Structure 1
């Protein structure tokens, strides 16, 4: 199965499940940026439950702006905040220390464009999961897709499908219960290399 999907900020379980079950993944590179999507946000599982991490962007006066042209507002120390949030949430998880040195540089190097940062996040997660996804990139924007399964709607945070994925052990699960479909980082830090087996078993929900 060939799919088309948006590169998002540390994609959630649904996004990675879709990518892992596909024979070929096409990344949408030419769409217009939309607010309230996972292009610049992700959810992790913190001490108080589900926590949203949002990357601040520079807003343009233009009515429409390409996703690839969106710049990150680096005057805010968002990277420091996000990294501290990840440390707080996952320091006691089984695999955080194992992957920590790989992910920390993402939060110290300044990126100009949101899409470039998201692509780097995706690359690093794939390396950590030791999976070799066959990525290609769109050359033009097509609203209607005929030859691929269109998973671009998974990036829409406002109309998110309430997936009930299988439970796995989460750091604060005893306190708040299982929280489904958060960032792939939650699965990676809690399950390590077993994360791939978990994702493969979730394909029945998509």
Structure 2
């Protein structure tokens, strides 16, 4: 297959709550970032929880949600069950990051995120955090929702369909997707498939050793503040 013209990178992934730095790296790399919000909601996953560091080790902070049935509820249909969750989470973050190097510089920004979130739906809450953290990091990628599109049903075909509707030439996905993506249909359609390499991230001054990469982006923000973008590979010249 021959490829001509300008490249256009497409990333499609389910939304996460206060995701780790690799999630924002994928947004920074994309020309169009699509939140796969009409997929099935999965319990005990990254959709409504993430990890922070504490003196006692890693800790999950979780948005309480209503789950109706096992298989039919979509992410964008998932409602929050306790509207007080934001105050609880902000209190937990203050308690565990108040000694971080850039806590005082970052506190107002993060507190504002928590105090201004007001949706009953998980997708909208996640987008509130993702879009505002992108602004903090200086990432201006266009963010879309998969529910905007009328798509085919088979998994790989749905992903390809989004790429084609957005005139994408290159599709980027996490390494776990190698087990299910039908790369041939992408190649046949003129779309190259790439997988992110999440290794070789730089360490930063982090509380409570040992160092952990796979924690919420808020850990990075509290520890290095407005230098956070320099620890993303897409913006600092590293390979994706």
Q: TM-score, normalised by structure 1?
A: 0.83
Q: CA separation in 2, counterparts of 1:202 and 1:185?
A: 22
Q: TM-score, normalised by structure 2?
A: 0.72
Deviation beyond 4 Å, 4+ runs, structure 1 = 161-164
Aligned mate of 1:120, from 123, 128, 131: 128
What is the Cα deviation at residue 123 of structure 1?
Answer: 1.4
Larger radius of gyration: 2
Is the counterpart of residue 190 in structure 1 residue 223 in structure 2? yes
Alpha carbons of structure 1 residues 188 and 140: separation in structure 2 relative to 1, 3 Å = farther
CA contact (8 A) 1:41 1:54 kept: yes
Q: Higher relative CO (CA 8 A, sep ≥ 6), structure 1 or 2?
A: 1
Is the counterpart of residue 129 in structure 1 residue 106 in structure 2? no
Q: CA separation in 2, counterparts of 1:41 and 1:151?
A: 19
What is the Cα deviation at residue 203 of structure 1?
Answer: 4.9
Aligned to 1:100: 107
Mean CA deviation greater in 94-103 or 37-46: 94-103
Unpaired segments of 5 or more residues in structure 2? 1-8, 164-170, 178-196
What is the Cα deviation at residue 151 of structure 1?
Answer: 3.8
Aligned to 1:6: 14
Q: CA separation in 1, counterparts of 2:237 and 2:16?
A: 19
Alpha carbons of structure 1 residues 149 and 114: separation in structure 2 relative to 1, 3 Å = same
Q: CA separation in 2, counterparts of 1:106 and 1:22?
A: 24
Aligned residues: 195
Unpaired segments of 5 or more residues in structure 1? 155-160
Task: State the secondary structure of the residue aligned to 1:92.
Answer: coil
Q: Deviations over 1:29-88 (max 9, x none)?
A: 21111112111001111111211111110121363111111000116x422221111112
Aligned to 2:172: 149
Q: CA separation in 2, counterparts of 1:11 and 1:85?
A: 17
Aligned to 1:87: 94
Aligned mate of 1:17, from 18, 25, 41: 25
Aligned mate of 2:207, from 171, 179, 196: 171
Aligned to 1:60: 68
Q: CA separation in 2, counterparts of 1:152 and 1:134?
A: 23
Aligned to 2:190: none
Q: CA separation in 2, counterparts of 1:91 and 1:49?
A: 16
CA contact (8 A) 1:42 1:54 kept: yes
Alpha carbons of structure 1 residues 61 and 22: separation in structure 2 relative to 1, 3 Å = closer
What is the Cα deviation at residue 121 of structure 1?
Answer: 0.4
Q: CA RMSD of the aligned region, Å?
A: 2.5
CA contact (8 A) 1:32 1:67 kept: yes
Is the counterpart of residue 50 in structure 1 residue 50 in structure 2? no
